[in-house]
Amino acid sequence: MIAPILLTFLGTGTSQGIPVIGSNHPVCLSRDPKDQRLRVSVHLQWQNHSFVIDCGPDFRQQILRGQITHLDGLLMTHEHNDHMAGLDDVRPFNFMQKQEIPLFGCARTLEAIKTRFPYIFVQEDKYPGAPGIRPEIISAYHPFSLGGKTVMPIQATHGSLPILGFKVDNFAYMTDVKSLDTKAKQHLEHLDVLVLSALRHEPHPMHLNLTEALDLIKELKPKQTYLTHISHLMGFHKEVSEALPEGVFLAYDQLKIEI
């Protein structure tokens, strides 16, 4: 029997989060908690395993809010700041678990992280309070084992930057997507659950807008899709949700789904 996955959206916002600092946009002033979005990240649990995809600047707040007390590994989609700036806050897990935390990402992403956090990866005279991180290089379409499940990295393009999404069982997480090639689409057809980014209504050079995301969903035909990496320019959660087609939902922070 396949162990079910419990998916928790730790954050569903874009790189600035919502509310945006100093913004008087109506969505940024909304009192609806579903309009308040930390930077994009998800927590995956099955059996006794616990993994987080992306580790942005809100990581500490997300972990505390989600009452996550154990971490078996981090999966990184790419090296932009809103996806990796919280890496130092892995330290409490090192102290509690008394072991390094594996960090899975493509070679380019891991090199960028080493440049951003050189003190974590030095081999000699390492600061004793630095996080313990074990880099694990992965690449698109080369599956690897994680907690007894097989993870398939799926390549997407974020503007012109190749990035990774992740497919586990019949679920896939694809954020910061602008386009998918034929091979990626073949791996993503007819999923039970697809998480896909959709930034706003207006076109954007680096991200799918809502129309592009909905067109891609029609092509891939998942049973359910949850949209994430959402800007305040998308509009109010309640209004956008009511306008979405059947089977498509606007994700929000702390939403939990069993897959």
Q: Count of domains in the chain? A: 1
Whether residue 2 is predicted with pLDDT greater than 90 in this model: the reply is no
| Structural domain includes residue 126 | yes
Q: Reduced to 3 DSSP states, what percent helix, strand and coil does the chain have, rounded to the nearest 5? A: 25, 30, 45
- Structure tokens, 118: 């050189």
Task: CATH number of the domain at 158, please.
Answer: 3.60.15.10
Render pLDDT for 178-194 as a digit per residue (tens, 0 to 9): 999 999 999 999 999 99
pLDDT of residue 128: 81
Overall average pLDDT of the 42-59 stretch: 97
| Structural domain includes residue 198 | yes
Whether residue 1 is predicted with pLDDT greater than 90 in this model: the reply is no
Overall average pLDDT of the 118-145 stretch: 92
**What residue numbers bound the domain in which 111 lies?**
6-258
| Structural domain includes residue 1 | no
Render pLDDT for 83-127 as a digit per residue (tens, 0 to 9): 999 999 999 999 999 999 999 999 999 999 999 999 999 888 888
| Structural domain includes residue 222 | yes
| Structural domain includes residue 210 | yes
